[in-house]
Amino acid sequence: MNPRDPIHDLLAGVGRNTYLPFLGRLKKIYAAMDGKYQAAADYYGFNCTGCDDNCCFTRFYHYTLLEYLYILDGLNTLDGERRAQITGRALEVCRETGHADAKGVPVRMMCPLCVDSVCLLYAYRPMICRLHGIPHELQSPGGGLVQASGCGAFTTQFQGKPRFKFDRTPLYLEMAGLEKELRQAVGMPIKIKMTVAEMIRSYGHR
């Protein structure tokens, strides 16, 4: 088993019908996220059209089985040739980032799902991809309120504008509750910390 594929063996015997209802509920949570994000974007007049600090180059980690399975479902909507292309790109990203990490040097590589500036699985993108860029607040488990700024492009355009109340807490709590239910349903206790590229690479073992 690939040591970077911590969930392959655990899910090998789980049928799609077991987790499919959870993905339907996740889709509704994502729709709520998109609505909240759009309300904030409309308030500021913010429209992400890409920039030099493109977030698709950022090595985001994802921690939920929900998102792992949702991206897998999206990947299966593509034809074989496109899936092979994306898998090849994912392997390259994993290989190059691994080499850079071993040398202790920074690296920026485009997400393997982004081809010609278009996300091939945009409707299936993870939570952080949906919410990134706009200032928000979050009630931490310890009880404190954490306020985060927007991305560099946002800050440059809207610095000084009165802040829109974009509270991610209810969305995170709903996502965490659904994740707990799913893990119990499939019997998965281990934690996940994977990039999109690592997820795609692991699918090749299923």
pLDDT score recorded for residue 160: 79
Q: Is residue 64 part of a domain?
A: yes
Q: Is residue 188 part of a domain?
A: yes
Q: Is residue 28 part of a domain?
A: yes
**What's the total number of domains in the chain?**
1
Continuous segment of H or E residues that includes residue 145: strand 145-148
| Cα separations in angstroms, 87 against 2, 47, 57, 99, 199 | 16, 30, 17, 18, 10
pLDDT band at residue 153 under the 50/70/90 scheme: confident
**Which structural domain range is residue 52 located in?**
8-203
Q: Is residue 46 part of a domain?
A: yes
Q: Is residue 3 part of a domain?
A: no
pLDDT score recorded for residue 150: 87
pLDDT in tens, 31-77: 999 999 999 999 999 888 766 667 888 899 999 999 999 999 999 99
Under 8 Å CB-to-CB from 77, ≥6 apart: which residues? none
Q: Average pLDDT in the 180-196 region?
A: 91
pTM assigned to the model: 0.89
Q: What integer best gives the mean pLDDT of the chain?
A: 89
List the structure tokens of 116.
Answer: 């010609």
pLDDT in tens, 66-125: 999 999 999 999 999 999 999 999 999 999 999 999 999 998 899 999 988 889 999 999
Q: Is residue 2 part of a domain?
A: no
Q: Is residue 1 part of a domain?
A: no
Could you give the percent of the chain with pLDDT greater than 70?
92
**109 phi and psi, to 5 degrees?**
-130, 140
